[in-house]
């Protein structure tokens, strides 16, 4: 059993840094004299799963080595040590890094001795995994192309044309949502007597007098199983057309070539059609839906399909760049442009239409959650509409909704609404939706997957069981392997071999053919619970079966193993270089595969790597940053961009999580990584974790302007976490100087008591606590910041105001800022307690109570209520207001302004920065001290950074 790093050990995992270096040197000598080959069996767990790492000196040397080769590297490299200007801070930083690294390595060591929560399986995990592999091999159709997507052309007999029963675009979307196959219609053109793609234009589907023109061929894009399912569904989606004039003489099957866009090439590649084969057994009309027209039945029975395999390999980059996709097509050829339904990344709360949102809020405010979704299903009349409704239900930001409801309740009700969870109401609505017999025909695969993913995400297993029961009782829907894959993915993520085995056996029992993603999840589970050598043998076994021929499955597999594999590689090879590791992964997974539908980014990538995805890069960056290898982490970003991919929110958050002590490095990361274009459409979307980390950095570094910018942008985005809101409320209610937190005050009191009992140890007992040996009237910088930070940050709507120049004193202050200045200047001459509630004050007898004390209590209560209203007003501006300037740019400006303030002493009462103010505060009484501080706060409000705003895009939620 290998050594496991303790929380107090150095990052090297040993008892000291020299010991760690000696172990590394010994490992280097062993490698030089003849170590086992890479990927060979290891002698024990100590080499594969031990908690070995580089020492602090080695980590710092790796981080600082080499000259900066780019502005990004010069800004980011060494960020763990920059601005750590004291030994205690450096020590605390290293201790935090040790704890994180030790926890990671402990998990890796325990994974070799995985403890299954079902006791009877603890000794049977290897045998069970082998049994599941054999079970999948028997149930699957093995082959190198069985799990790959392909293009299939379906042609109707001569003289026969059909048309979709409904809107063509919605019909194609319904086929894709139900089966996963993407259909493309090939229409007939009288002008050129050839087939052209008219799928994107509805007008081209109609002939003279508004009669449908129809089509006589279509293409299907998907796996063989998905295309077969689409062919079974096709008789329900089309009807025959009996036109007065026939165009069958112009159409001869198999005598022309089709130029289509497939998964291996660009739009100008040609495919040779194969011999047609009958598929009448797959496209027969069901008895309950048979048409009375005999010609319609003949059409369905005579549908033929051509399977066309990919023939041309991927063209070199130089050849692809010479081709133009904007030239007019030749009349004798066709260029199929396949429409795409993409998930639009929109603002929160815009998914729900105004009618549904208003009904939801009104029902919650009325306290009758039982009628929360009454009437919401009246507009569901097709499969795509039901899929959209399910997506809306499962994507509602509940925290924003609660704020809206609380604001409506506070404005118009005297009692709180009921405590029923809105999440539970959504789950109940989903169950009722899938149980509704009227909607059984509209249930599709994507809707079921969306509901299952929501149940797994909220960890409601009872909901998942009830949902599966409702789906099995639906006679119009057959469960697919994609439904079971969601549950298999959840079991693999929890490393639950028992439930994974049960779900897999239930799927096989229903005669459902496993998909390639089913194999990928079993591969993921194997790497989580087995040793690396055994898991690597499973990877090779699956590669031989062609499981990873689909790019999606190959990328998922590489992402699932890269973290553990990189840790092993770093431990085995001390002379680690990223280029060697990337070459090693290229040999394992390959750099290019046929059968991949290349996007524009991948097609023109300078160094394409199929296996390198954003998720894979994020895990590599995390492991490298744990070792302090910042230059190598930056190199991963360059390799990701060269492969045609782009970083995402998780990439940004991973970098920020390792720079929580350095505001300069955080702003540099936001400027370099946060502004990266994602899919050439928009910048990286910031989530609650991004704003929380940036707000913590601004708070700990006492940056007023950064805190203002982060707070206002988070409010507009609806990503204010509980931690940010709690800090803002505590600071908003505080006076200046703010009292230290209660645990700090408790510890301070204990230290003072110990100093009284043992006077010689007074200095040692008080030095480590806030304030030290300073007199009580000397304020710390944190006390001043805590009292002013929230009052300085609030005011999202201030960016809409245009100030006049008639008054020089209010030139840079809005009406809200003047009100905040007045409230912050109120002295702390009476505290507000729980006894000062309106109910208590209403029953106070004025004749027996001091009127002055009652007036002070009322004034403080009014102050607290008004400050709370300002916070709630900012939180309610989500989507209603939008910032004018990009977040990263505004954050950089705010940080530069904070640096100027810290150099000039604005916003601090430190004796070295403001000696005159510090001397005046030391001699002043509480009221005079409050007045002096108010003068500085007024100057801060005037000179603070402005955050311009604009009104939303015309679709703001109703102001409640």
Residues 659/693, Cβ–Cβ less than 8 Å: no
Q: What is the mean pLDDT of residues 512-520?
A: 88
Q: What is the mean pLDDT of residues 638-650?
A: 88
Q: List CB contacts of 309: < 8 A, sequence separation 6 or more.
A: 145, 150, 274
Q: What percent of the chain clears pLDDT 70, i.e. is strictly above it?
A: 54
Q: What is the mean pLDDT of residues 841-860?
A: 56
Selection from 104-118, 126-140, 493-507 with the highest mean pLDDT: 493-507
Q: What percent of the chain clears pLDDT 90, i.e. is strictly above it?
A: 14
Selection from 346-355, 441-450, 603-612, 753-762 with the highest mean pLDDT: 441-450
Residues 98/7, Cβ–Cβ less than 8 Å: yes
pLDDT at 755: 63
User: In which band, very low, low, confident or very high, does the pLDDT at 738 lie, cut at 50, 70 and 90?
Assistant: low
Q: Is the dihedral of CA 471, 472, 475, 479 positive or negative?
A: positive
Q: What is the mean pLDDT of residues 365-389?
A: 70
What DSSP designation does 437 have? G
Q: What is the mean pLDDT of residues 737-759?
A: 60
pLDDT at 748: 61
Element (H, E) at 195: strand 195-196
Residues 791/810, Cβ–Cβ less than 8 Å: no
pLDDT at 165: 81
Residues 673/684, Cβ–Cβ less than 8 Å: yes
Pick from 320, 319, 321, 282: nearest CA to 304: 282
pLDDT at 650: 92
Indicate the SS3 state at residue 186: strand
pLDDT at 690 over 90: yes
pLDDT at 696 over 80: yes
Indicate the SS3 state at residue 271: strand
User: In which band, very low, low, confident or very high, does the pLDDT at 833 lie, cut at 50, 70 and 90?
Assistant: very low
Q: Is the dihedral of CA 494, 497, 499, 503 positive or negative?
A: positive
Q: How far apart are CA 790 and CA 867, in angstroms?
A: 10
Q: How far apart are CA 493 and CA 503, in angstroms?
A: 14
The residue written with tokens 């509901």 in the block is 451
Q: List CB contacts of 801: < 8 A, sequence separation 6 or more.
A: 814, 815
User: In which band, very low, low, confident or very high, does the pLDDT at 758 lie, cut at 50, 70 and 90?
Assistant: low
Q: How far apart are CA 289 and CA 276, in angstroms?
A: 27
Selection from 293-302, 347-356, 418-427, 835-844 with the highest mean pLDDT: 418-427
| Residue bearing the bigger pLDDT, 552 or 677 | 552
Q: Is the peptide bond before 737 cis (omega within 30 degrees of 0)?
A: yes
| Residue bearing the bigger pLDDT, 264 or 942 | 942
pLDDT at 503: 92
Paired residues of 45 in beta bridges: none
pLDDT at 337: 39
pLDDT at 490: 92
Element (H, E) at 867: helix 851-875
Q: How far apart are CA 953 and CA 950, in angstroms?
A: 9
pLDDT at 671: 86
pLDDT at 948 over 80: yes
Rounding to the nearest 10 degrees, give the CA dihedral for residues 925, 929, 932, 935: -140
CB neighbourhood size of 119 (10 A) = 8
pLDDT at 122: 60
Pick from 17, 2, 1, 25: nearest CA to 98: 17
Q: Is the dihedral of CA 770, 773, 775, 781 positive or negative?
A: negative
Query: In the chain, where are the structural domains located?
Result: 17-121, 150-312, 344-413+420-477, 698-737+779-830+866-951, 742-765+772-778
pLDDT at 841: 42
Residues 519/554, Cβ–Cβ less than 8 Å: no
281-338 pLDDT, tens per residue?
Answer: 323 223 333 333 434 333 333 333 333 333 333 333 222 222 322 233 333 333 333 4
> How does 409-443 read in b/e, with b if 16+ C-beta sit within 10 Å?
beeeeeeebeeeebeebbbbbbbebbbeeebbebb
pLDDT at 852: 57
pLDDT at 13: 38
pLDDT at 920: 76
Residues 197/335, Cβ–Cβ less than 8 Å: yes
User: In which band, very low, low, confident or very high, does the pLDDT at 753 lie, cut at 50, 70 and 90?
Assistant: low
pLDDT at 929 over 90: no
Q: Is the dihedral of CA 536, 541, 544, 549 positive or negative?
A: negative
Q: What is the mean pLDDT of residues 691-714?
A: 93
* Average pLDDT, rounded, for the chain: 68
User: In which band, very low, low, confident or very high, does the pLDDT at 277 lie, cut at 50, 70 and 90?
Assistant: very low
| Residue bearing the bigger pLDDT, 478 or 339 | 478
15-63 pLDDT, tens per residue?
Answer: 333 444 344 444 443 333 333 333 333 333 333 333 333 333 444 444 4
The burial class, CB within 10 Å (0-12 / 13-18 / 19+), for 287 is: exposed
Q: What is the mean pLDDT of residues 206-210?
A: 44
pLDDT at 103 over 60: yes
pLDDT at 931 over 70: yes
- Total residues belonging to the chain: 960
| Residue bearing the bigger pLDDT, 580 or 87 | 580
User: In which band, very low, low, confident or very high, does the pLDDT at 849 lie, cut at 50, 70 and 90?
Assistant: very low
User: In which band, very low, low, confident or very high, does the pLDDT at 400 lie, cut at 50, 70 and 90?
Assistant: low
Q: Which two tokens stand for residue 560?
A: 């699932």
User: In which band, very low, low, confident or very high, does the pLDDT at 898 lie, cut at 50, 70 and 90?
Assistant: very high
pLDDT at 250: 34
Q: Worst-scoring range by mean pLDDT, 492-506, 583-597, 610-624, 860-874? A: 583-597
pLDDT at 838: 44
Q: What is the pTM of this model?
A: 0.67
> How does 474-500 read in b/e, with b if 16+ C-beta sit within 10 Å?
beebebbbbbbbbbbbbbbeebbbebb
Indicate the SS3 state at residue 618: helix
| Residue bearing the bigger pLDDT, 350 or 160 | 160
Q: Give whole-number Cα distances, 743 to 739, 757, 769, in Å.
A: 11, 21, 11
One-character DSSP codes across 346-378: --TT-SS-HHHHHHHHHHHHTT-GGGTTTTTTT
Q: What is the mean pLDDT of residues 181-207?
A: 52
pLDDT at 306: 31
| Residue bearing the bigger pLDDT, 405 or 652 | 652
Q: Is the dihedral of CA 761, 763, 769, 773 positive or negative?
A: positive
Q: What is the mean pLDDT of residues 358-375?
A: 57
Q: What is the mean pLDDT of residues 764-791?
A: 62
Q: What is the mean pLDDT of residues 359-373?
A: 57
pLDDT at 344 over 70: no
pLDDT at 111: 52
pLDDT at 305: 34
Selection from 251-255, 335-339, 744-748, 769-773 with the highest mean pLDDT: 744-748
Q: How far apart are CA 632 and CA 646, in angstroms?
A: 17
Q: How far apart are CA 20 and CA 76, in angstroms?
A: 27
Element (H, E) at 182: strand 182-188
Q: How far apart are CA 672 and CA 678, in angstroms?
A: 13
Q: Are strands 277-278 and 304-308 parallel, antiparallel or unpaired?
A: antiparallel
5-14 pLDDT, tens per residue?
Answer: 333 333 333 3
């Amino acid at each position: 059993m290998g050594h496991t790093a303790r929380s107090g050990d150095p990052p090297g995992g040993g008892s000291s840094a020299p010991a760690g270096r000696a172990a590394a040197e010994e490992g280097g000598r062993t490698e030089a004299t003849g170590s086992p080959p890479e990927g060979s069996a290891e002698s024990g767990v100590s080499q594969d799963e031990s908690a070995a790492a580089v020492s602090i000196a080695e980590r710092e040397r790796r981080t600082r080595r080499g000259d900066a080769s780019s502005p990004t590297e010069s800004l980011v490299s060494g960020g763990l040590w920059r601005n750590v200007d004291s030994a205690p801070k450096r020590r605390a930083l290293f201790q935090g890094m040790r704890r994180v690294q030790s926890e990671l390595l402990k998990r890796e060591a325990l994974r070799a001795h995985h403890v299954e929560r079902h006791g009877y399986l603890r000794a049977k995990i290897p045998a069970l995994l082998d049994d599941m592999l054999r079970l999948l091999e028997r149930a699957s159709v093995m082959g190198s192309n069985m799990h790959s997507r392909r293009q299939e052309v379906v042609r109707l007999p001569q003289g026969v044309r059909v048309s979709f029963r409904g809107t063509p675009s919605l019909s194609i979307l319904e086929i894709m949502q139900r089966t996963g196959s993407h259909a493309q219609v090939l229409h007939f053109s009288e002008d050129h007597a050839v087939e052209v793609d008219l799928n994107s234009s509805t007008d081209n589907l109609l002939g003279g007098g508004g009669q449908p023109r129809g089509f006589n061929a279509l293409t299907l894009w998907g796996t063989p199983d998905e295309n077969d399912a689409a062919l079974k569904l096709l008789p329900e989606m089309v009807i025959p057309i009996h036109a007065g004039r026939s165009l069958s003489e112009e159409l001869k099957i198999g005598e022309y070539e089709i130029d289509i866009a497939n998964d291996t090439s660009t739009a100008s590649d040609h495919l040779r059609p194969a011999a047609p084969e009958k598929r009448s057994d797959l496209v027969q009309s069901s008895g309950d839906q048979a048409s009375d027209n005999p010609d319609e039945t003949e059409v369905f029975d005579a549908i033929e399909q051509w399977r066309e395999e990919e023939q041309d390999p991927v063209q070199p980059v130089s050849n692809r760049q010479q081709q133009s996709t904007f030239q007019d097509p030749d009349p004798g050829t066709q260029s199929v442009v396949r429409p795409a339904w993409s998930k639009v990344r929109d603002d929160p709360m815009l998914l729900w239409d105004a009618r549904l949102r208003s009904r939801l809020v009104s029902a919650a405010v009325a306290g009758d959650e039982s009628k929360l979704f009454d009437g919401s299903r009246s507009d569901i009349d097709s499969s795509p509409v039901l899929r959209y409704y399910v997506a809306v239900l499962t994507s509602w930001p509940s925290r924003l909704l609660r704020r809206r409801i609380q604001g409506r309740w506070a404005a118009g009700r005297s009692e709180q609404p009921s405590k029923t969870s809105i999440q539970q109401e959504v789950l109940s609505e989903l169950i009722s939706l899938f149980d509704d017999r009227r909607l059984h025909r509209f249930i599709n695969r994507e809707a079921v997957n969306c509901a299952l993913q929501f149940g797994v995400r909220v960890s409601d297993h009872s909901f998942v069981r009830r949902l599966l029961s409702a789906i099995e009782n639906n006679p119009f829907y057959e469960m697919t392997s994609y439904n079971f894959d969601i549950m298999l993915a959840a079991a693999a993520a929890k490393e639950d071999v028992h439930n994974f085995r049960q779900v897999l056996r239930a799927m096989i029992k229903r005669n459902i053919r496993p998909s390639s993603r089913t194999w990928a999840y079993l591969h993921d589970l194997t790497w989580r619970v087995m040793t690396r050598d055994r898991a690597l043998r499973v990877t090779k076994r699956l590669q031989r079966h062609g499981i990873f021929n689909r790019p999606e499955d190959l990328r998922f597999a590489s992402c699932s193993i890269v973290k553990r594999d990189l840790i092993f590689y770093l431990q085995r090879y001390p002379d680690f270089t990223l280029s060697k590791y990337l070459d090693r992964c290229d040999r394992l997974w390959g750099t290019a595969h046929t059968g991949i539908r290349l996007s524009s980014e991948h097609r023109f990538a300078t160094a394409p790597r199929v296996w390198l995805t954003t998720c894979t890069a994020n895990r590599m960056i995390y492991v490298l940053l744990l070792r302090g290898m910042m230059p190598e982490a930056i190199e991963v970003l360059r390799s990701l961009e060269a492969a045609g991919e782009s970083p995402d929110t998780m990439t940004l958050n991973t970098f920020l999580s390792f720079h929580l002590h350095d505001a300069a490095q955080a702003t540099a990361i936001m400027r370099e990584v946060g502004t990266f274009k994602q899919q050439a459409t928009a910048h990286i979307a910031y989530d609650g974790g991004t704003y929380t980390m940036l707000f913590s950095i601004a708070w700990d570094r006492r940056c007023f302007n950064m805190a203002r910018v982060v707070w206002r942008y988070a409010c507009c985005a609806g990503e204010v976490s509980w931690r940010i809101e709690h800090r803002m409320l505590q600071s908003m209610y505080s006076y200046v100087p703010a009292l230290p937190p209660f645990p700090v005050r408790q510890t301070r009191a204990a230290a003072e008591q110990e100093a009284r009992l043992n006077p010689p140890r007074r200095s040692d007992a008080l030095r480590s606590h806030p304030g030290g040996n300073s007199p009580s009237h000397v304020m710390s910088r944190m006390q001043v910041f805590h009292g002013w930070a929230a009052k300085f940050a609030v005011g999202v709507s201030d960016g809409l105001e245009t100030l006049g120049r008639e008054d020089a004193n209010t030139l840079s202050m809005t009406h809200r800022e003047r009100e905040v200045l007045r409230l912050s200047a109120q002295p702390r001459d009476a505290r507000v307690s729980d006894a000062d509630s309106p109910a208590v004050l209403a029953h106070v007898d004025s004749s027996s109570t001091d009127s002055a004390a009652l007036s002070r209590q009322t004034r403080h209560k009014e102050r607290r209520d008004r400050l709370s209203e300002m916070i709630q007003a900012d939180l309610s501006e989500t989507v209603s207001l939008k910032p004018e300037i990009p977040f990263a740019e505004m954050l950089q400006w705010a940080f530069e302004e904070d640096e100027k303030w810290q150099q000039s002493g604005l916003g601090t009462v430190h004796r070295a920065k403001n000696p005159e103010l510090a001397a005046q505060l030391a001699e002043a009484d509480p009221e005079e001290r409050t007045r002096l501080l108010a003068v500085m706060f007024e100057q801060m409000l005037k000179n603070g950074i402005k955050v311009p705003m604009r009104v939303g895009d015309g679709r703001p939620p109703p102001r409640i």
